[in-house]
Amino acid sequence: MPKPEGGSPPVTSRSLEALGLSGILERSLFINGAWRVPAGGRSVDVVDPATEAVIGQLALGSPGDVDEAVRAARAAFAHWSVSAVAERAALLGRVHALILERAELLAQAISLEMGAAINFARASQVPLAAEHVRVARDLLASYPFAREEDGFLVSREPIGVCGLITPWNWPLYQITAKVAPALAAGCTVVLKPSELSPVSALLFARILEEAGLPPGVFNLVNGTGPDVGEAIAAHADVDMISITGSTRAGVQVARAAAATVKRVTQELGGKSPNILLDDADFERVVPLGVASAFRNVGQSCSAPTRMVVPRAALAQVETLAAQAVAFMTVGDPASTDTVLGPVANPAQFARVQEMTEAAIREGAKVIVGGPGRSEGFARGFYVRPTVVSEVTAGMSIAQEEVFGPVLCLMPYDTVEEAIAIANDTPYGLSAHVQSADPQAARQVASRIRAGQVHINHPNWNPLAPFGGYKRSGNGREYGVLGFEEYLETKAIIGATA
């Protein structure tokens, strides 16, 4: 990794004003088709993680704002739930086109608000978010909302008002993964994005407004989890909650929702394994495994941060992993040379330091990186991309989510042991298997308790259902199964000939 000489390298000074977004954080409520300033007068700083400079203050909503948004969504549900499928598909088509038209502005906003390298924001954060909208639109063309069985009709109907809570790490991607299928199903929405990365959410709301969405169908309330998130979850007139976030946040939301017995879907934490079988092409799969673990600076709940490797190949894998990290330039997220920008916020920076230090205390061997700020940076939340080896299942680093560019190498002696290591965490969101023998890889994949298993680093598929076993959550997102989370099932008996 290049080490700049003479202290901090220059980091591009960016601002909302430079993006033409002055004042966007102030009118932070979009309720019943109108932009509003919260009445409470409370705000939170929005910080550029590359410079630690405050780029603006986000005006925070309140439980009262939630109540108003839910009332608007409930009123709009009466007409949106029975709108024509073609109308909803056309609306989503306009949204998709507008996202693509404004892709560069969205990418710049995401890079500014959460530190994503601009090339990554352009290649992944924005286009993959657009894909969720396209998939939801396309599903409407063929989805059977009613089907006849033997003596009865099964009808799939929109569940109602949906409270959607999204995280800071994939701010636009996670919004479209929830909002698009909800709107496609005929539901109305109250969205609470993360207050740590709110700019792209506000831009998305502007897109929905321009696309011609009827008032009240989509509502946006910015605010904190304890104030706005819990108010949405507990609201008696919200029919469903979908949250992506930490397991801790998912538990809190489920508790708040329990009293009203609403549906709760959760996409939560992960500690995903990547099993390298002994016939794998290590020269190929190790660099790909490092890249997958460090994608989005490791801030992905599905990141395969435990590489489970044959003990006889451990030294080779250590060398290959260190070489892969050496090619990952840490730097200014505005630069097209940068692979890894900063992590998104000070709490995440502290978390990476804490977990890396714990790994060393507990006996892990540092191959590259380690605690501390990346070399040459005096400011910004730049962590050192780290690989630790000789990690055992009992170590904190093998059990707890780090959410940063920290990869564990865990040796095994038998395939049975590799599968046991893979399953030995509280999580079960995602997993990877690498092998020259696809059948052997499938056999291993079938025994891993995770909602998605990737064999030999396939391309991302927006139709493949995504969600977790164990403490990684309940329910599924993406594709048909993700769409059906927003539908209720009604049996009408005696309706057929």
Catalytic residue IDs: 267, 301
Closest CA relative to residue 88, chosen from 170, 226, 181:
181
The answer for 261, left when phi > 0, alpha when psi is -120 to 50, beta otherwise, is left
Query: Which residue(s) pair with 158 in the sheet?
Result: 487
| CA atoms of 136 and 179, how far apart (whole Å) | 10
Residue 202 phi/psi, 5° resolution? -65, -40
| CA atoms of 441 and 446, how far apart (whole Å) | 9
Closest CA relative to residue 139, chosen from 192, 183, 95:
183
Residue 466 is classified by DSSP as B
Residue position matching structure tokens 């910015």:
222
Closest CA relative to residue 473, chosen from 435, 409, 418, 427:
427
SS3 432: strand
Residue position matching structure tokens 């549906």:
263
As given in the structure block, the two tokens for residue 141 are: 């063309």
Task: Say if strands 469-470 and 427-428 run parallel, antiparallel, or are unpaired.
Answer: antiparallel
Close Cβ partners of 287 (under 8 Å, ≥ 6 residues apart): 320, 323, 324
Cβ neighbours, 10 Å, residue 488: 15
Kind and range of the H or E run holding 94: helix 85-101
Cβ neighbours, 10 Å, residue 162: 30
Query: Is the sign of the CA dihedral 91, 92, 93, 97 positive or negative?
Result: positive
SS3 202: helix
Query: Which residue(s) pair with 35 in the sheet?
Result: 30
Closest CA relative to residue 295, chosen from 458, 420, 407, 183:
407
Query: Which residue(s) pair with 490 in the sheet?
Result: 155
SS3 431: strand
| CA atoms of 199 and 222, how far apart (whole Å) | 11
Beginning with the edge strand found earlier in the chain, give each strand of the sheet holding 29-31 in spatial order: 34-36, 29-31, 218-221, 188-192, 161-165, 240-244, 263-267, 473-474
